[in-house]
Structure 1
C-alpha cells in the first residue's frame, strides 16, 4: 500500500503541510515521525478507536502517513485526544495533525478498495495491493503479563490504564509461573488491538512493572465475583466471595518489592514519568497520577490459633513482606491480631501473600483494618495486655530498612522450599538438617548453592511446615556472630 506520493484534489502532487502551519479541521489526517518500517496495521490501530477509516496512504521513505476518516467529527475527536495524549508506535512519539487535503485520491484503486473494506469490517483486516492479511485482533480479551513487578499493580490500576483505549468490561488477575498476569476484556477487538499496540512493552511506573500484552484464546471472560482479584464492570450484583482455589487461575499476587517513593503513571505515550537508562521514551507533556494503593498500613489477622500465636511469631512471618512496626493480639479475642506495617504497600503485599495460608493448623484471614495505627497499651494496663502488644519499630531484624536492599528482589509467596542464607563455612549440611529436624520439621531435600556456599535451599514436607520453620528458625544463631536468615524460595529442589 505504500506510495511515494499522493494526488490532491486539483491533480498536483505535493505533501500536506509544513509542521508549523495550522490546518483547519479535515477528514484527512497527517501523521509524522512514524517508524521507518511501520505497518498499515499499526497506523490503523491509532485511528480505528475513533471511527472508520476510508483510505490510508503510507509514505515510508518520509516516515509519514495520511489517513482519511469517514467523518470530520471522528477526525476532530482523534486529533483532540492525541493532542493531550500524544501516541507512540514502538516507543517512538508520533505527531498527528489535520491535513490541507479535504480528501485523498490514490493512484492504486485496489489499495483504496482494500482499506475501505477494512474500515467496514475491522475485525479481519486485509490491506495492501497484494491482498496480504493483517489480523487486527483475534479476540477482545487481552492476556497481560507484568514483568519486573516492584510495586503493586491492582485491578483498579489496570482498569485506569486500559480504559483509555475503550470500554473495559471484565478483568481477572492471577499468578502463573511466579508471574503476575491478568485477563482483560474490551467491548470489541478494535479497542483491544489499539491497547495492545500502544501499551505493549511500556512501563507502568518508572523503570518497572513492564507490560507484555498478547491476545487471549478466550473470546469472553466468566467472572463470578467482584473483588480485588476479579471484576465484571457490567454487573454490580455479583458477590464479593473468594475465588474458588481449584479454579484454573490462582489469585495470589506475585513477588515484588516495596519502593521508597510512590511512582507516577503517565498516559500511553511512554508510561514512565521520565526516561530511564536504556529507554527511548521521552517524558510526555501530559501526565496522569495513578491512585496509590490503599492508605491503610494496619492489617487485621483472624482465625489464629490462640494456643500457639505470639506477637513475635507474627512479627517474623509478616516481616518477610515488610518492616513490621507493631503487633497487638486482641485481649478479648486472642484468635485475632492487628499488625502494623511500615507503609500501605507492604501491608498490601503481606495481605496478598498470607491471606488463606495455614498457620498452626488454622487457615488465617488477613484484611485491611480500619485502624490507622496500633495503639500501645496504657501504663496502667495489666501484665497480660502488655505482653500481647509489642513495638518492633526499632528491631534489628527488619529486612527492608536499607534502601536498595536485595531483599526487595527476593519476595515470594510461602512455599515448601526455604532459602537459607548467612550460613557460616563451618556449618555442614548435616548440621543444618539436624537443626530443622530437631525442631520438629521434616526435611525432604537440601542443596547448597553451587557458587555461594553461604546459601542453600531446603525443602520441607508442606507449605505450612515451611511457614512454621521460618518463624522458629529465622535469626537462629549458628555461631558466635552469625545468625541464619530464612525466607521463602520460588525454586524447587
Structure 2
C-alpha cells in the first residue's frame, strides 16, 4: 500500500513525472489543506476513486479512475502549477498502481469526503463542499456555484484574460474563463474546480483593485455551474482543453506557451495593489502605464531585470539592427543596444527600468521583423557593458542614454497612455502644415510597403493615422520613419495605434 515512502526519493522540486500510473503523488500542500481541496485538484480530469492524506508530510496520494485521466492531470499541472493559498503544489505519478487504505480516523474522513463528492457529482463537474473535520457537507458553500461572475469597475486600463487568470489562480486551479462586455461593463465568468475554492476566492478578492486606484473587482456567484468554452483565444479559454481551436480556425494554441503566457514571470519587488494580487509581467507593465496616467507614485519600477535578450533576428540586416531595435522600443527608453559578436541574430537591449523591459517583452515577443518571428525574453544580465576604451567592437554596441528621442523621461508622460500592441495602423504626429496626405503616402510606400488607408485627425492636422498592409510592414515602417525629418524643423513621431481607419 502507498504509505508515503515515495517522498523519501525526492531531491528538490523539479523532478520528472515518472512512469504513468493512475495514482498521483501530490506534494508541498499547505498545513491547513482539507480533503475537498485535494479532490478538487483531480476532479476536472475524471472521477477520483481514492485518496490518502499524509498531513504530517504535507502530501497526499490521489487515485483516478483511469491512467489516461491521471496523465491528463499530471501533464496539465506540469505546465500550469496549481496554487492553494499561495503554496505552489507539485505532483507526479506515484510508483503505486492503486491505493489501499485502512480504517484509521484520517482515512475514514477521506472516504467520507470522497463519498460526498461522488454523491454530488456522479463523476462530473459541480460544487464540492466538504468540511475538513467531518467530511460532511458544509451547507453554506454547497448551494454556491464553482463559477464566479466578475465585473471590473473603474476600467482605466484594459484588463486581459491572462491578468484575470493570474489573479484568480492564486486561490486554486482556474479551469475556464469567458470575458465579455455587457451594459458597457467589462465582465468575466471564471470557473474553479469546486465551490469552496470559488467562495474563498470571492471573499479574498471582492472589492480589491487590480491596479492602484482603478480596475475594481465586483464578484458574485454565477447561476451557471459549468461553462461551455468553444474557443481558446484572448476572449475565452478552457485550460483543461488545450486542443480547442481559436475562433478563426488557426492551429490551436500551444499549451505550454499558453500556460507560460498566462503565468508570465514572477517579478521581484512588485509593490502595492499588484503585490497582493501577484500580477505577473503583462499586468505589471499595464499597471505601470495605468499608474503613470493617473500620476500615482505607488508603482515604482521593478528592480533588476531591465535588460532584454532579443533572438532570431535576421542576420542579413544586422548592420542596421541597432537603429532598428532602438526605434522599435516604443515601450520605454532604450539606454544601450548590443549585437552579440558571435551570434549576430541575437541582441541585448538595456531599458531604463524593469517595468519598461516587461512592457517591451510582452508586446514584442513573437512579432515578425524582416520575415522572422522575434523572441524577446528577460536577460540574466543587469546592464549592457560598453567596450573598454581602445577595444573597438565593430560598432556592435551603442549607448543611447543621452538620446534626445526618449519618450518616457518625464514622470506621468502622456506617452504612457498611448502604449498599444503592434498593429497595422500607425499613429503619426508632429506633421508640419505644408505636408499633405500624398507626401506621407509616398514616404511610407517608398520602402516597398503597401499603404491601405490614410486619415488626418479632423481637429488637429498635426496628427494622422496610416494603415499598412500588415503588422510586419507597420513595424518596419515605424523603424524606418520614426524621427524622419519632414522639414521646417519637424521630426515625424510614429507609434502603434489602437484605432483602425
Q: TM-score range by the shorter chain?
A: 0.5 to 0.7
Q: Are residue 219 (structure 1) and residue 229 (structure 2) matched?
A: no
Aligned residues: 321
1:81-109 deviation line (CA, Å, top 9, x unaligned): xxxxxxxxxxxxxxxxxxxxxxxxxxxxx
Alpha-carbon contact 1:419-1:487 (below 8 Å) kept: yes
Partner residue in 2 for 1:316? 327
Partner residue in 1 for 2:314? 305
Picking from 370, 385, 392, the partner of 1:360 is 370
Change over 3 Å in CA distance of 1:145–1:186 after alignment to 2: same
1:17-43 deviation line (CA, Å, top 9, x unaligned): xxxxxxxxxxxxxxxxxxxxxxxxxxx
Partner residue in 2 for 1:167? 172
Matches within 5 A, 1:4-403: 120=139, 122-124=141-143, 136-137=144-145, 139-140=146-147, 147-149=155-157, 159=166, 163=170, 166-169=171-174, 184-193=190-199, 195-196=201-202, 199-200=205-206, 202-211=208-217, 215=222, 219=226, 246-247=251-252, 262-265=271-274, 295-309=304-318, 310-318=321-329, 320-382=330-392, 385-403=393-411
Change over 3 Å in CA distance of 1:267–1:314 after alignment to 2: closer
Question: SS state of the match for residue 308, structure 1?
Answer: helix
Question: SS state of the match for residue 317, structure 2?
Answer: coil
1:336-374 deviation line (CA, Å, top 9, x unaligned): 000111111111111111111100111111111111111
Partner residue in 1 for 2:417? 409
Alpha-carbon contact 1:143-1:216 (below 8 Å) kept: no
Moved over 6 A (4+): 150-154, 171-177, 179-183, 229-232, 248-253, 289-292
Q: How many Å separate the matches in 1 of 2:299 and 2:436?
A: 50
Q: How many Å separate the matches in 2 of 1:442 and 1:485?
A: 20
Q: How many Å separate the matches in 1 of 2:446 and 2:191?
A: 52
Q: How many Å separate the matches in 2 of 1:423 and 1:359?
A: 26
Change over 3 Å in CA distance of 1:312–1:291 after alignment to 2: closer
Alpha-carbon contact 2:209-2:273 (below 8 Å) kept: no
The alignment's C-alpha RMSD in Å is: 4.7
Q: How many Å separate the matches in 2 of 1:216 and 1:358?
A: 43
Q: How many Å separate the matches in 2 of 1:403 and 1:349?
A: 16
Partner residue in 2 for 1:102? none
Deviation at 1:326, TM superposition (A): 0.7
Deviation at 1:488, TM superposition (A): 0.4
Q: How many Å separate the matches in 1 of 2:213 and 2:433?
A: 37
Q: How many Å separate the matches in 1 of 2:327 and 2:401?
A: 13
Change over 3 Å in CA distance of 1:142–1:333 after alignment to 2: farther
Deviation at 1:211, TM superposition (A): 3.4
Deviation at 1:297, TM superposition (A): 0.9
Deviation at 1:377, TM superposition (A): 1.2
Q: How many Å separate the matches in 2 of 1:341 and 1:176?
A: 35
Q: Are residue 439 (structure 1) and residue 447 (structure 2) matched?
A: yes
Change over 3 Å in CA distance of 1:183–1:150 after alignment to 2: closer
Deviation at 1:162, TM superposition (A): 6.5
Alpha-carbon contact 1:419-1:489 (below 8 Å) kept: yes
Q: How many Å separate the matches in 2 of 1:370 and 1:182?
A: 36
Q: How many Å separate the matches in 2 of 1:291 and 1:263?
A: 10
Query: What TM-score, normalized to structure 2?
Result: 0.54
Query: What TM-score, normalized to structure 1?
Result: 0.54
Deviation at 1:439, TM superposition (A): 2.6
Alpha-carbon contact 1:142-1:185 (below 8 Å) kept: no
144-153 or 207-216, larger mean C-alpha shift: 144-153
Q: How many Å separate the matches in 1 of 2:470 and 2:223?
A: 34
Alpha-carbon contact 1:173-1:182 (below 8 Å) kept: yes
1:192-219 deviation line (CA, Å, top 9, x unaligned): 2564476455323322344365759783
Matches within 5 A, 1:452-491: 452-491=460-499
Q: How many Å separate the matches in 2 of 1:458 and 1:216?
A: 46
Instruction: Determine which structure has the larger helix proportion and give its number.
Output: 2
Deviation at 1:433, TM superposition (A): 0.8
Picking from 416, 420, 431, the partner of 1:423 is 431
Question: SS state of the match for residue 476, structure 1?
Answer: coil
Which is higher, the Rg of structure 1 or of structure 2? 1
Alpha-carbon contact 1:141-1:219 (below 8 Å) kept: no
Q: How many Å separate the matches in 2 of 1:333 and 1:180?
A: 45
Alpha-carbon contact 1:159-1:168 (below 8 Å) kept: no
Deviation at 1:266, TM superposition (A): 7.8
Deviation at 1:167, TM superposition (A): 3.3
Deviation at 1:246, TM superposition (A): 4.4
1:234-255 deviation line (CA, Å, top 9, x unaligned): 9xxx9xxxxx9744899789xx
